[in-house]
Amino acid sequence: MMLGLLLARAGVDVTVLEKHSDFLRDFRGDTIHPSTLELMHELGWLDELLALPHTKAAMLRFQSGSHDVVVGDFSHLPTHARFIAFMPQWDLLDFLVRKASAYPGFHLRKCAEVTEVVFERGRIVGIKALTPEGALAVRATLVVAADGRTSTVRQRAGMEVETLGAPMDVLWFRVARKPGDPTDSIGRYEKGQIFILINRGDQWQCGRVIAKGSFESIKPLGLESFREDLATVAPFLADRTRELRDWDDVKLLTVRVDRLRTWYRPGLLCIGDAAHAMSPVGGVGINLAVQDAVAAANLLAAPLLAGRVTTRDLRRVQERREWPMRVTQGLQVLIQNRILAPSLGRLSSKRNGKLPLPLWLVQHVPPLRRVPARLVGLGIRPEHVHTSEAPVH
């Protein structure tokens, strides 16, 4: 959506295909980081976006036993919004659609599920999709796959995927938030359980980190055992665990970390999770995808307006974004394998209440908090909007 908006803003004719009739999907990436908020400022839309319902996190916090550690402090970032905004992704997408619809070249087609890519003389020249009205064929100078970690487009195009692996999955659910609850979004660790608690105003969005593939072994222990684990880690939620009525209230996110060796082929470019599925560590996935979109718009608007996009043009997008992606994935895999995975199922008594070294360091050397804040809030190579604006409606 972001790429479609920026290209239409530059005068390119764009059609965005969405499989569903709306954007109402639970537990998608809902964290809008300072890097993305800065892009909204550059476009002149930041105040309007932040008028939508959201909560803010100016710091990243982690609690373990008696330790309350500020992991990252965004107050030092060189941005206009020095916080993470937690906003339902459907609200963000609706906002981008409203802005994009002001440009005559932007077209959104919902209820259009892409099923095939169209090849002609070794080049991808369009797609085929299913709609309620029947089959749909769209021809294009360039097809962009932004259809996620299970991308149909990249599969049909025969793209080679490199899997890095992940030792964990995440179970997402919600419980009510009451007056007197903590206000910060936090990570919590207690007795081998890792939970993420995100303040969503009237609700807590909760994530329990579990060992990879262990959900089916957790279920037989019963929902009551799951509720007790939540109450142990977050005692202030003990009176609300009954809001989890059955396992249907708990959604499994199967974590994947992978990447394409080559993000493109003639007539096709993959971005976001379709090019590189990110771990949920740091919540950076949506923001890295937005950075891909901005870089792609900056580099491809002129070739698209000229009516011809070469593989060299597409290679430049990968060259621009691959290094930030690889560094970010490398850090995520390091945190997954060295900190999170060894902690799962380990009783705190075996650790004598000691924090892992990275957490101990940021607790005792406050300036170090700027490092994770920079990595999470801005990323390795933040992008900026360079494309000029075409006339609007």
Dist CA 391 CA 160 (whole Å):
40
At 283 the pLDDT is: 87
Residue pair 362/372 in contact (Cβ under 8 Å)? The answer is yes
What's the DSSP call for residue 147?
S
pLDDT score of 261 more than 50:
yes
At 348 the pLDDT is: 45
Coil, helix or strand for 56?
Answer: strand
Token pair for 282? 């740091």
Nearest to 359 by CA among 189, 144, 148, 116: 189
Domain ranges of the chain: 2-55+81-164+256-338, 168-253
- As a whole number of Å, the CA-based R_g of the chain is 22
Chain CA centroid to CA 150, Å: 14
CA of 180: how far to CAs of 60, 86, 202, 236, 392, in Å?
20, 20, 12, 9, 47
Task: List pLDDT tens digits, range 82-137.
Answer: 999 999 899 999 999 999 999 999 999 999 999 999 999 999 999 999 999 999 99
**What is the percentage of the chain residues whose pLDDT exceeds 90?**
76
From the candidate CATH numbers 3.50.50.60, 1.10.1370.40, 3.30.420.40, 3.40.605.10, the one assigned to the domain spanning 2-55+81-164+256-338: 3.50.50.60
pLDDT score of 196 more than 80:
yes
At 27 the pLDDT is: 64
pTM: 0.92
Residue 369 CB: number of other CB atoms within 10 A?
Answer: 22
pLDDT score of 360 more than 90:
no
Please provide the size of the chain in residues: 393
Dist CA 276 CA 325 (whole Å):
8
- By CB atoms closer than 10 A (0-12, 13-18, 19+), residue 99 is buried
Half-sphere exposure of 193 (CA within 13 A, CB side): 21
Dist CA 94 CA 100 (whole Å):
10
At 353 the pLDDT is: 59
At 351 the pLDDT is: 47
Mean pLDDT of all residues belonging to the chain:
92
Least confident of 24-28, 160-164, 195-199, 329-333: 24-28
Per the DSSP assignment, residues forming a β-bridge with 162 are 259
Coil, helix or strand for 222?
Answer: coil
pLDDT score of 350 more than 90:
no
Higher local confidence (pLDDT), 183 or 14: 14
Task: List pLDDT tens digits, range 137-185.
Answer: 999 999 999 999 999 999 999 999 999 989 999 999 999 999 999 888 8
CA of 350: how far to CAs of 168, 190, 210, 298, 354, in Å?
21, 12, 19, 52, 9
Task: List pLDDT tens digits, range 283-335.
Answer: 899 999 999 999 999 999 999 999 999 999 999 999 999 999 999 999 999 98
Nearest to 297 by CA among 377, 383, 391: 383
pLDDT score of 66 more than 80:
no
At 346 the pLDDT is: 58
Dist CA 369 CA 379 (whole Å):
15
